[in-house]
Amino acid sequence: MPLDPKRTVAELRELQELTGNADGAQRVAWTETWVEAQDWMASKLGGIAMEFDEARNQWWTVPGESERTLVIGGHLDSVPNGGWLDGALNVVAGSEVLRRIAEQGTPPVTVRLVSWADEEGARFGRSLFGSSAAAGSMADQDELRERKDADGTSLPDAISAHGVDLDRATDARSELENAAAYLELHIEQGPVLEGMDLPLGVVLGTFGVERHQITFRGQAAHAGSTPMDQRRDALAAAGLLALEIYDIAERGEGVCTMGSVVTKPGIVTSVVETAECLLDQRNLDADKLASMLEAAKSAASKFAEERNVEVEWERVWNIEPILFDNELIELADESIREVAGTSHRLPSGPLHDAAEVSRAGIPTVMVFVQSLRGLSHTKLEDTKEAHLELSVQALDRLADRTVEWIASR
């Protein structure tokens, strides 16, 4: 049977019907609805060998002439009240490609489809569970042991109800031993492709992130009796920085967000004594990310001095940019141009399972399909059916090219 992209769209609608409600998709990892989605996917790939690994990643395998393996991946779990495409598109489109390859006989290299466990981290606040276990980058097992969901159920208890032993989850590493390339199709979850009127794009990598808490400290003083030129107003310095980051982002060709400012004492009759700001900076280029951080630090010091307040920085979290494989980026570009005429290269703001696989040293690339209105993690998330069909075709062409690429190396 040839590739049938319309079937992918129909199956995605079927999955939405089965595991969603009026508020959206409800396939939260480590719940019965998630298991229902996994069983449903297994029923669609009846003839192909399926297994779960130690982290409950779900694998289908079409053995090839060589053990070297092309892996296509996505995730069936969703956030609560999520969209019908985030994650599921990659798995269902991947199943269409896998079926097509299996029906053509033994491929030159092994081809596997994986549905990663708990990409979203919706229940326990820890994203990329399954892919980090398989990639060997799950370094926080002790911390995970302490995690609880909103009902007080611990993470180890919740996952053991699904047959996963936290201490053994990283044994999933063996699954990627023969992996020679990794492909992931995903909705963009942003407005770039729609703005350019393009259905598909190649992802260059995922942004590096620097996240800091910046605390400006001045002096609380009476709002009535303190002259304007004698104030040590922490919010005045914070406000200048909140505007300056627009220039910093533009110069660094990245993005900066001051997502939170908490002021104390936080009453209308006092000058602000402390302003605690959270700053998130992202860039695909490690050097530019470092310069953006330096620029923010020197601007903060300058504004603090101008306003006669003190400033302190504390790193909350950071991650390096993860760049995808140049040769696979070329192959993805060719595949997209073949089915859609034009391609575009763009970075990914969100992290994806592909970032974990890439960090493990496996050549990786992602393809994005346009998201309508750039919306995701809501039931309003949507993509035109014609674009979804093109994305399945592009993934299919890319899979063929990558099989050849692996075989020729």
3-state helix, strand, coil in the chain (%, to 5): 40, 25, 35
Minimum distance between the CB of residue 248 and Zn ion, rounded to whole angstroms? 29
> DSSP state, 226?
S
Residue nearer to Zn ion on the CB measure, 127 or 301 = 127
DSSP secondary structure, 118-167, as one string: -SS-TTTS---HHHHHHHT----HHHHHH-B-TTS-BHHHHHHTTT--GG
* Tokens encoding 217: 């400290």
Q: Which stretch binds Zn ion (CB under 5 A): 12-20, 78-86, 156-164, 226-234?
A: 78-86
Residue nearer to Zn ion on the CB measure, 235 or 392 = 392
Distance between CA atoms of 356 and 406, rounded to whole angstroms? 20
139 Cβ contact partners less than 8 Å away, ≥ 6 residues apart: none
Q: What are phi and psi of 363, to 5 degrees?
A: -55, 130
Binding map of Zn ion across residues 3-42, x = CB under 5 A, - = no contact: ----------------------------------------
Minimum distance between the CB of residue 371 and Zn ion, rounded to whole angstroms? 11
Bridge partners (DSSP) of residue 255 are: 282
* Tokens encoding 276: 């605690």
Minimum distance between the CB of residue 339 and Zn ion, rounded to whole angstroms? 22
Residue nearer to Zn ion on the CB measure, 231 or 352 = 352
CA 314 vs. chain centroid, Å, equals: 25
Residue nearer to Zn ion on the CB measure, 89 or 289 = 89
Minimum distance between the CB of residue 30 and Zn ion, rounded to whole angstroms? 17
**Residue 230: exposed, middle, or buried by beta-carbon count in 10 A (0-12, 13-18, 19+)?**
exposed
Q: Which stretch binds Zn ion (CB under 5 A): 82-90, 134-142, 236-244, 286-294?
A: 82-90
Residue nearer to Zn ion on the CB measure, 86 or 233 = 86
Minimum distance between the CB of residue 120 and Zn ion, rounded to whole angstroms? 7
Binding map of Zn ion across residues 38-77, x = CB under 5 A, - = no contact: ----------------------------------------
Output the residue with the shortest Cβ distance to Zn ion.
Answer: 87
> DSSP state, 22?
T
Q: Is residue 190 near Zn ion by the rule CB under 5 A? A: no
Residue nearer to Zn ion on the CB measure, 185 or 214 = 185
Instruction: Give the footprint of Zn ion on residues 85-124 (CB under 5 A).
Output: 86-87
Residue nearer to Zn ion on the CB measure, 189 or 215 = 189
Question: Distance from first CA to last CA of the chain, Å, rounded?
Answer: 29
Minimum distance between the CB of residue 75 and Zn ion, rounded to whole angstroms? 6
Residue nearer to Zn ion on the CB measure, 86 or 285 = 86
Q: Is residue 83 near Zn ion by the rule CB under 5 A? A: no
Bridge partners (DSSP) of residue 226 are: none
CA angle 217, 218, 224 (to 5 degrees): 145
CB contact at 8 A, 354 and 325: no
Lookup result for tokens 């799950």:
138
> DSSP state, 387?
H
Count, residues near Zn ion per rule CB under 5 A:
2
Minimum distance between the CB of residue 186 and Zn ion, rounded to whole angstroms? 6
Q: Is residue 239 near Zn ion by the rule CB under 5 A? A: no
Applying CB under 5 A, the residues found at the interface with Zn ion are: 86-87
